[in-house]
Amino acid sequence: FTRADRHDASVLVRSLLRFARGLGCPARARSGSTHVSFETYTATRATTMRRALMHARAVGGVFGRAKEALATEAVQGSVASYHAEASSNEHVGMRGTTVLCVRKGDQVVMMADGQVTLGSEILKPNVRKVRRIGDNVIGGFAGATADAFTLFERLEHKLDEHPGQLTRAAVELAKLWRTDKFLRRLDAVMVVADKTQSLQITGNGDVLEPHDGVIGIGSGGSYAVSAARALIDVPDMDALQIAKKAMKVAADICIYTNHNFVTETIGVTPGAERN
């Protein structure tokens, strides 16, 4: 391409930047190259990319097919670079976490590992990620520690306002978490349980109750849930035994999970969790 070709292609890419802004997707130009940043959810980014490329093809005829190809390649490279960077940084705070809640019969067990990981480095092996909230509620978290403790404090306040009503307190917390301009920036996921129900609370306003009494969050949550569901119908295993076995499976698979388990229980005989 000649210098004039590249100038025309640059004009086309600037047109794409204006088009992206019109879709509500922030875009910016870096020195030496044009970089398009679609900072929205994954589906929206993919849709916007397709529309931007369609726009490139539509207006590319003004400069000719060669310049259209150059501009399209620039847009594709910029989006691919952004996606790679975003994927490498996504959910870094949640990598060092596996929290499992198992309910069977009258027993409720919440168990978490103790590892905290930053990138490829283990920062601490014995963090406590589960705690008791009052006398009858237990909770665990995945995500930023300071954010989680802030949310635990808010949940305690809601339980004081609505004593004995965990669902209502959780819904009120989820509403506050989603709408408050400060709380909605907090990066964590919570699991709470009392003697009758187990709930997962997220910053998206979700309050989820599992159909089988098993909840798992964090990097190894899916492994722990799979193992617990496979064992939940075994007649000779109680909730504590199921949780221990499932967490061991998760720790053996997930590199961000260790074997330093911390447990909180409801309805389990005192001393049984040390066996």
Hey, which residues are catalytic here? Answer: 97
Contact 36, 52 (CB under 8 A): yes
Give the bridge partners for 121, in sequence order. 118
Contact 197, 167 (CB under 8 A): yes
254: closest CA among 216, 227, 221?
221
Sign of CA dihedral 124, 130, 133, 135: negative
Which phi and psi angles does 14 have, rounded to 5°? -65, -35
d(CA 113, CA 104): 21
Contact 223, 234 (CB under 8 A): no
